Amino acid sequence: MHSRRRGRRRANTPGGIHDRQGTRNEPAAGRRERASALYPDGYRRGNDVKFEADSLADVLVRLRRAQGQLGGVIQMIENERDCKDVIAQLAAVSRALDRAGFKIIATGLEQCVREGTDPEQAQLDRAQLEKLFMSLA
């Protein structure tokens, strides 16, 4: 009777040791280099969004509110509160996170639209961009 080894099966190949999925076992730095080579510049990195102080403050307020709400949801579950109440609070957390994400995306869209133009001549202001983006959600 053959004994079967459990776990990942490895095979020696000329390029190194590969696991079942075919990814090479290499140091983390090598994996990062290879991963960043898969994306063109600007797609994965290089176009940082610069937050204005008021935008950043609003995003942080929303995230802190969501953090507090999530803590409340955890306590509700630990205290075996009614399922409907837990779900309602969880939905509120989800909406707060969505709003923070939309604010971040709207800031990035605004920068893309205004890039290379005079800020006074920009066609869309931040409120219009947020409204436009929210219509997609």
More confident site: 11 or 76: 76
Residue with more model confidence, 126 or 84 = 84
For residue 7, give both structure tokens. 């776990």
User: Mapping DSSP to helix (H, G, I), strand (E, B) and coil, where does residue 11 land?
Assistant: strand
Question: In degrees, to the nearest 5, what angle opens at C-alpha 58 toward C-alphas 132 and 101?
Answer: 50
* 3 state SS of 31: helix
> Average pLDDT, whole number, for the chain?
71
Query: Which pTM was predicted?
Result: 0.51
- Write the pLDDT tens digit of every residue in 97-128: 988 888 888 777 777 666 656 655 555 667 77
pLDDT above 50 (res 19):
no
Q: What is the DSSP string of 96-119?
A: HHHHHHHHHHHHHHHHHHHTTS-G
Helix (H, G, I), strand (E, B) or coil at 12: strand
Could you give the CA distance from residue 72 to residue 62 in angstroms, rounded to a whole number?
15
Q: Collapsing DSSP states into helix, strand and coil, what is residue 34? A: helix
Q: What is the 3-state secondary structure (H, E, C) of 38-62?
A: CCCCCCCCCCCCCCCHHHHHHHHHH
CATH class of 55-135: mainly alpha
For residue 91, give the DSSP letter: H
Q: Is residue 125 within a helix (H) or strand (E), and if so which, with residue range?
A: none
Is the separation of the CB atoms in 18 and 25 below 8 Å? yes
